[in-house]
Structure 1
Amino acid sequence: MKKWMVGLFVTIIGMVVLSACNNEKSNDKAAADSGDGYEETTIRLAYNLPQDHHVAVGIEDFAKKVIEKSDGKVNVQVYPAGQLLSDKDMNQSILSGGVEMGVNSSTLWSSTVPAMGVFDVPYIFNDYAAVGEAVNGEFGDKLRGAMEEKGAKVLIFADYGYVQFANNKRPLKTPADFKGLKIRSIGDLPSELIKAYGASPVFMGGGEVYMALQRDTVDGATSGTTAMLQRKYDEVTKYLTVNNYAYLEFLLAVNKDYWDGLPKKTQDLLTEVAAETETWIREQAEKEDTESAKGLEEKGMEVYYVPADELDVWKDAAAPVRDVFVKNAGDLGKELLELVDKK
């Protein structure tokens, strides 16, 4: 074959290869533009709540939607009900990158970000709508910023609902009725409240409470009625006091370094689905609180609803807790309380 023919043949082959490469790049771009261009990644997500709790249901749905919308390329592996981490170990694991994502209470996050304890300041949120308005505004932005400074990005403020008191000794109709009791606490500020009411706080994880109540290691516990019902408090406690003293949030948080390393397309997907999930969880909180309190009563617990005209006694006795929060959370804590008090 003559040299000019060989050269022509090589040129033609090169053009074909180049065209194929360009077509492949175009196809890749089209796939990305159509929603199929997610980079493959696996995200481990741990939580410690019972799987039928409304927060857990929302988180499971979050994971499912992320997987579906990314055609399985963003794979969220969920480890429920303490299978991977206890609530006491969760935060450090998220911050260290031991797990990419995790769900834990605002109360437990307050040991890392003291301002997150604002949800435990007694009686500052009067209704469910006020909480949603706060976390979706400047109040929530300040808390998100404080968390990111520590190394965790908040994707969801998951409304757990109001927190109450259960015990197996006597009805708690006034703060004075707490005197001498040992009450399971869920964090620093709830412990301060328990002490202000004259009882002794005992800190333990959610999974330990049933056995502690059964064995009289503690006389009672503070928690939401949703978890009380699912964890069968009715079998080991007799009395429930509903006074809505604090509004518990759970946070879906992701390790900040891991988040920063994700492609923007994946970040946008996670943010979009998180917003949808947060709305759904918030809508469930009031309904679940009401139904679970009734459920505990139907199972034999004696339920006392503190009348609105008697709440001032409870608030006055709890006043020292607000001072402790401000001391711990500093200027940011003051700013958050001022924002809530303006409403």
Structure 2
Amino acid sequence: MKYAKFVAIAAVLAFCLMVPAVSDAAREVKMSYNGPADAENNAVHLFAENFKKLVEEGTKGEVTVRLFPDSQLGNEEERMELLSKQGMNQPIINVASFAGVAPVFPEIYASAIPFMFNSYEAAHFFFDNSRFWNKSKEEFRKRTGAYLLEAVEEGGFLAFTNNKNEIKSPEDFKGLKFRGMDEGQIILYKSFGASGTPVPWTELYMALKTGVVDGQMNPAMYIKMGSLHEVQKYLTLANIQYSDQFLVVNGDFLDSLTPEQKTAVIEAGKKANALNRQAMAEQDKKDIDYLVEKGMIAYSPTPAEMDAFREAGQPAYVEWLKSKAGEDWLNLALECAKNANEKAK
């Protein structure tokens, strides 16, 4: 009897000792980002879903990812501060826009110079292995202790629209009024001979309909989303700016993983981004086709016309950026973008 009781107690103790070992093996990390949990209409959520799946598969469940869409862990700056300070207690992964990264690393703005990239392929070359991107990751790590892993593709290139005339050259802007989201966009319009004025997204449709402004710039998916095709006739696919956000991972968390787990997390970011790139390219084409079907006239500038946009629009924008990103970073970004465009031909 005593022997049976001893065996039962030993079995219970053995089970209790095993439980912490199992729970310790599974490491949970929180992942926060902007926008709703809607993979069809929020490319960042599509990325997050694939990243979670790939991390958990790659680590055989030893690392799990818990998703927090809609900025549930705070706004852009709050999440970046949380990521930098959390350490090992509650590790954070963040998908941040320029608004989240720029306060700690303003040089990131150098990657958003207008007309840098002639194609998606060129942008991918730039953000996969250019000297600018590698230097950015190193500098970001030094300043924040966190890892900057991927430039996550979140939509198509920004395009110009207007309701007055087809735009094929900078001269076609003269006399037009455009909605500008920020100072940089207004400077860009002025360099073309147009004027720019701030208009909130919620008021943009009526501003275009009533002629408060003649045009605006956004990716095709946003033009479709806002039904702007109803109040805009001309669409110029000038690859103005590449639409992306940034995958940032808490440094203490990533460094605490085994080499195999760390590699799995990094590779999950690359693979999830590759899936986003494919999805966004397909979606952008569908959205442009939709806008054309609804009556918009789409135009893709020739290489010579793109050079004309670049030559007219970049100098004033770069001059404005110097105080934010620094001349050395700007020059490096432009050089690497030129190399990326040549590789993508």
Tell me, yes or no, whether TM beats 0.5.
yes
Shift of 1:194: 1.8
Q: 2:325 aligns with which of 324, 329, 332?
A: 329
Please name the residue that 1:141 is paired with: 134
Please name the residue that 1:169 is paired with: 164
Q: 1:74 aligns with which of 65, 72, 79?
A: 65
Identity %: 24
Name structure 1 gaps, 5 residues minimum: 1-8
Q: 2:266 aligns with which of 265, 271, 275?
A: 271
**C-alpha RMSD over aligned residues:** 4.0
Structure 2 residue matching 1:140: 3-state secondary structure:
helix
Distance (whole Å) between structure 2 residues aligned to residue 233 and residue 64 of structure 1? 34
Q: 1:302 to 1:339 in 2, by over 3 A?
A: closer
TM-score normalised by structure 1 residue count: 0.74
Shift of 1:288: 2.9
Shift of 1:77: 2.7
Shift of 1:174: 2.4
Task: String of CA shifts for 1:263-291, please: whole Å, max 9, x gaps.
Answer: 52686664343222111112233333333
Amino acid paired to 2:106? P
1:287 paired with 2:282, answer: yes
Does the Cα contact within 8 Å between 2:37 and 2:45 map onto a contact in 1? no
Correspondence list, 1:42-81, <5 A: 42-47=30-35, 52-53=40-41, 55-56=43-44, 58-62=46-50, 65=53, 69=57, 70=61, 74-79=65-70
Distance (whole Å) between structure 2 residues aligned to residue 108 and residue 212 of structure 1? 29
Does the Cα contact within 8 Å between 2:115 and 2:314 map onto a contact in 1? no
Distance (whole Å) between structure 1 residues aligned to residue 203 and residue 140 of structure 2? 28
Distance (whole Å) between structure 2 residues aligned to residue 73 and residue 167 of structure 1? 47
Does the Cα contact within 8 Å between 2:161 and 2:235 map onto a contact in 1? yes
Distance (whole Å) between structure 1 residues aligned to residue 132 and residue 171 of structure 2? 34
Please name the residue that 2:124 is paired with: 132
More strand by share: 1
Distance (whole Å) between structure 2 residues aligned to residue 108 and residue 185 of structure 1? 21
Q: 1:228 to 1:211 in 2, by over 3 A?
A: same
Does the Cα contact within 8 Å between 1:54 and 1:284 map onto a contact in 2? no
Structure 1 residue matching 2:277: 3-state secondary structure:
helix
Q: 1:222 to 1:153 in 2, by over 3 A?
A: farther
Correspondence list, 1:290-301, <5 A: 290-301=285-296
Shift of 1:193: 1.6
Please name the residue that 2:110 is paired with: 118
Shift of 1:132: 1.6
Name structure 2 gaps, 5 residues minimum: 87-91, 341-345
TM-score normalised by structure 2 residue count: 0.73
Amino acid paired to 1:213? L
Structure 2 residue matching 1:243: 3-state secondary structure:
coil
Distance (whole Å) between structure 2 residues aligned to residue 203 and residue 50 of structure 1? 29
Please name the residue that 1:92 is paired with: 77
Distance (whole Å) between structure 1 residues aligned to residue 36 and residue 111 of structure 2? 19
Does the Cα contact within 8 Å between 1:183 and 1:201 map onto a contact in 2? yes
Structure 1 residue matching 2:27: 3-state secondary structure:
coil
Does the Cα contact within 8 Å between 1:119 and 1:249 map onto a contact in 2? no
Q: 1:171 to 1:78 in 2, by over 3 A?
A: same
Structure 2 residue matching 1:136: 3-state secondary structure:
helix
Structure 1 residue matching 2:243: 3-state secondary structure:
strand
Q: 1:26 to 1:300 in 2, by over 3 A?
A: same
Amino acid paired to 2:281? E
Distance (whole Å) between structure 1 residues aligned to residue 336 and residue 289 of structure 2? 33
Does the Cα contact within 8 Å between 1:155 and 1:253 map onto a contact in 2? yes
Shift of 1:163: 1.6
Select the structure of larger CA radius of gyration: 1
Correspondence list, 1:13-24, <5 A: none
Shift of 1:127: 2.3
Which shifted more, 38-47 or 170-179?
38-47
Task: String of CA shifts for 1:45-95, please: whole Å, max 9, x gaps.
Answer: 33379853472452352365269654995321322xxx769xxx9432322
Amino acid paired to 2:330? G
Distance (whole Å) between structure 2 residues aligned to residue 105 and residue 306 of structure 1? 28
Shift of 1:195: 2.0
Shift of 1:175: 1.5
Q: 1:197 to 1:310 in 2, by over 3 A?
A: same
Please name the residue that 1:219 is paired with: 214
Please name the residue that 2:343 is paired with: none
Which shifted more, 49-58 or 219-228?
49-58
Distance (whole Å) between structure 1 residues aligned to residue 39 and residue 182 of structure 2? 22
Distance (whole Å) between structure 2 residues aligned to residue 49 and residue 191 of structure 1? 33
Q: 1:24 to 1:276 in 2, by over 3 A?
A: farther
1:252 paired with 2:247, answer: yes
Shift of 1:260: 2.7
Structure 2 residue matching 1:281: 3-state secondary structure:
helix
Does the Cα contact within 8 Å between 1:121 and 1:189 map onto a contact in 2? no
